[in-house]
Amino acid sequence: MSSTRFPVVIAITGASGAIYAIRLLQSLCQSDQSVHLTISPSGAAVIAQETGLKVDLKHPDLSALISYVPDWTSDDRRAATLAVDWGTAIDQKLHYHHYEDYFTPIASGSFQTSAMVVCPCSGSTLSSIAHAASNNLISRAAEVHLKEQRKLVLVPRETPLSVLQLENMQRAAAAGATILPAMPGWYHGVDSIDSLVDFVVGRILDQLQIDNQMIHRWKDTT
């Protein structure tokens, strides 16, 4: 993978699909990409529900989070993930911010970033971003990316969608956000849950203009 020049902001909120965020963090930290991470209380609750990992939002165990491998992961993927020196990757590339701390770099437009990804993006977070509520660091950082005209990728994972949620997506998109629902494709030779997760994460990385080989791509046959 190649990295972008400035840091990427990752926010984990309270929609199902914590594994997408974990896999995204793993992919970014295995590259040369600096990452600034923040997690909402609902995001921590979903992580606990779906992975069994307890996240202390004041002093999170980032090593446990980023090295997590689900039971259904292939033996090859498990071995490759566990072989990574996550401690070094965290020390050098991963910076954590409490969701209530507005005195962090990512709350200011003067701090240069390349993009922000909210993955997964809950309906309440989507609403706060669409209406510029800035009621926590996550929505404030998202507002910063919109006002500075930087890439903002929102990854909702809910079905069905209400009219209000659709209107919020339209409002956010009109303001400059990219709406990238966690909708894995099936055309790339799906052979495991891993490949479905990788499809979504690969598309997110594409939006960040980070080279990756996580999905099978269409090729020009002319």
* Residue ranges of domains in the chain: 8-207
Overall CATH class of domain 8-207: alpha beta
Residue ranges of the chain with per-residue pLDDT less than 50: none
Per-residue model confidence (pLDDT) at position 4 = 56
For position 31, what pLDDT does the model report? 85
Q: Which residue has the tokens 């203009």?
A: 209
Give phi and psi for 121, each to the nearest 5: -110, 115
Q: Provide the token pair at 187.
A: 């055309």
Question: What values do phi and psi take at 178, rounded to 5?
Answer: -100, 125
Report the pLDDT value the prediction gives residue 16, as an integer from 0 to 100. 97
Q: Which of 57, 188, 37, 185 is nearest to 119 (CA)?
A: 37
- Please say whether the beta carbons of 53 and 44 come within 8 A: no
C-alpha–C-alpha distance, residues 35 and 113, integer Å: 9
What does the CA dihedral 19, 117, 76, 211 come to, rounded to 10 degrees? 160
The two structure tokens encoding residue 9: 């902001």
CB 72 within 8 A of CB 193: yes
Extended beta strands in 45-165, E state: 94-96, 115-121, 151-156
pLDDT value at residue 96: 98
